[in-house]
Chain A
Amino acid sequence: MQVTTITPCSTFVSCSLPLYNTKVQAGFPSPGDDYITGKLDLNTHLIRHPAATFFIRVIGDSMRDAGIRENDLLIVDKSLEATNNKIVIAVVNGEFTVKRLRYVNKEAYLVPENDDFEPMKVGEGSYIWGVVTSVIHQF
């Protein structure tokens, strides 16, 4: 027997294609044909700006009425502008705190969401660190 040619087996190249959620049918086209199914990813859903996004753990319950409880996980985006009514992470006396930001006559206040706590003014040495975009509570 003679060897005539030697060829390598072809390298497998993958190509992703969108997956349509209906079979091709003859006749009436389904309104679902234009929709492509894909996986749902929490990361892309909750984090718009990964380089500027950090996770912070909650201690205490002064933001209870905003739905933020002890041990919850906060997703904080440092690239967002801290505007009126946003829930923010602020630095007060060198520590992180979570509060709602409120501007009253152009003065900034850090307001708790729990009647047992008092609002405080953003004073000398305090500053806004980032904006809380989501809170994750695990049961």
Chain B
Amino acid sequence: MPVFALVDCNNFYASCERVFNPKLENKAIVILSNNDGCVISRSNEAKALGVPMGAPYFEYQKICLDNKVTVLSSNYEYYGDMSNRVMSSLKQLVDDSNVEVYSIDEAFLNLDKLPEEDLTKYACSIKDKIGMWIGLPVSIGIGPSKTLAKVANFMAKKSKCGVFNITDEKIRQDTLASLKVGDIWGVGKRIAIHLSKLGITTAGCLRDSDPKYIRKIFGVVGERIVRELNGVACFELETNPQDRQNIMTSRSFGNPVTELADLQEAIADYAARACIKMRAQESKAQGINVFVQTNWHKDKENFYQKGNNYLFDIPTDDTSLVICKAKEIVKALFKPGLSYKKVGICLLSLNAKDNCQFSFFNNSVQIIDKAKKSLVMQSLDIINQKMGRGTIFFAAQGTKKAWAMKRDFKSPHYTTNWKEIPKALT
């Protein structure tokens, strides 16, 4: 019988900030998105003050100041490292093949080899170990399907011990009767409204609906949710994530950009970042899409957004070539006199390195040249990995970066930068 557990870090970003700053324990914390724009994580104390998720920060700035809320910019490098530690710990505890990394702070586990009576105790020990090893609090929900494990996790977050097991029929019955249909994984706001109109308001009602009927209205995914609520596992554990077909890097600017040179510097930087990700999954891009965009809010009348594609004759992972073509596209799209808010690049149709087809017209000299460039890229990646990101970068990426995103309240890179590791007083 399948048994799934969903392990989810509580208020992940806010909890990460507490690990190396114990003074933040029990305090209200709010984490802001790129450019310090929106609220993307809150500690329970901040939630209690009524700061909603996703709210634009400026709307709640006064409440935060009045209540001495600690406001921090997102520290993705640090959160990414902490996430890796949680996931590798889970893989250590239940074995690689039984872990599906679902998001930066969630993972599904397969616990079908454990005797049923030991499940809750085992989940408690996982929670204790993650808490001790990494300092992060997690909640664990256990159920016979992924959807039910998610429901159980929702209940776990509200419980005192942080673990909830829904494999027992009676407990499941009571839980689903009290759960709103909109709180089920996969049921969005619009679908919840539609279901309510059909008289389906609780998870229990949805579970009791005819799966074929649900399929007619909401498709096969809807039917799977109904079956999963009934304890039939339709979604499997996915332990081999598929390589991405496209990689997009785009950011909004911290300060408005008007000069072509600055736009080109930004696109060079984003192109380099995207290429690093591409090489990490050992792919090459067949083409790129580059776009520019002005600020819609500041000037609706003159809003300008345009993109262009470029297709390579041989798929490439060479940053210098990608930067060169990206800069050309930006130059072609650039209109003087406008205030730009954003540029972006998308690497298209990524193929596994070994599957790349060569153009009929390339001669052997060109192919060898490409291979040499590939070695240069490999060396660049290895050096940057050892010495820190950006140790070697393309001059086109810029050194001053006036356009870089604002992160005024960022905490140190506690675990990824030697200069910023935590200090202890002896």
Contacts and interface: CB of A to CB of B under 8 A. Distances in A.
B425 interface: yes
Given A51-B134, A79-B133, A91-B22, A59 B88 contact: no
Nearest to B92: A51
Interface string B59-94: 000000000000000000000000011101100100
Contact of B135 (A58, A78, A98, A99): A78
Given A78-B133, A91-B22, A54 B415 contact: yes
Interface of B: 21-23, 25, 84-86, 88-89, 92, 129, 132-135, 414-415, 418, 421-426
Given A51-B88, A78-B134, A68 B422 contact: no
Contacts of A49: 133
B109 to A, nearest CB: 16
7 tightest A-B contacts by CB?
A94-B23, A52-B133, A96-B424, A60-B426, A51-B85, A62-B426, A63-B426
A49 B21 CA distance: 22
A89 B414 CA distance: 16
B88 A96 contact: no
A56 B135 contact: no
Contacts of A52: 85, 89, 132-134
Contact of A78 (B84, B132, B414, B422): B132
A74 B85 CA distance: 19
Given A51-B86, A56-B424, A60-B426, 5 more contacts: A49-B133, A56-B422, A96-B22, A97-B424, A98-B426
A79 B132 contact: yes
Contacts of B25: 94
Contact of A89 (B21, B133, B418, B424): B424
Contact of B426 (A51, A79, A94, A97): A97
A57 interface: yes
Nearest to A11: B354
Contacts of A94: 21-23, 25
Contacts, number: 80
A131 to B, nearest CB: 11
Given A68-B426, A112-B426, A95 B22 contact: yes
Nearest to A132: B424
Interface string A73-106: 1100011000000000101001111110000000
A20 interface: no
Nearest to B24: A94
Contact of B421 (A57, A79, A98): A57
A35 B359 CA distance: 50
A95 B23 CA distance: 7
A29 interface: no
20 contacts: A49-B133, A50-B85, A51-B85, A51-B86, A52-B85, A52-B132, A52-B133, A54-B421, A54-B422, A55-B415, A55-B421, A57-B423, A59-B426, A60-B425, A60-B426, A73-B421, A95-B424, A96-B22, A98-B425, A99-B426
Contacts of A61: 426
Contacts of B423: 56-59, 96
Contact of A51 (B133, B414, B418): B133
Contacts of B84: 51
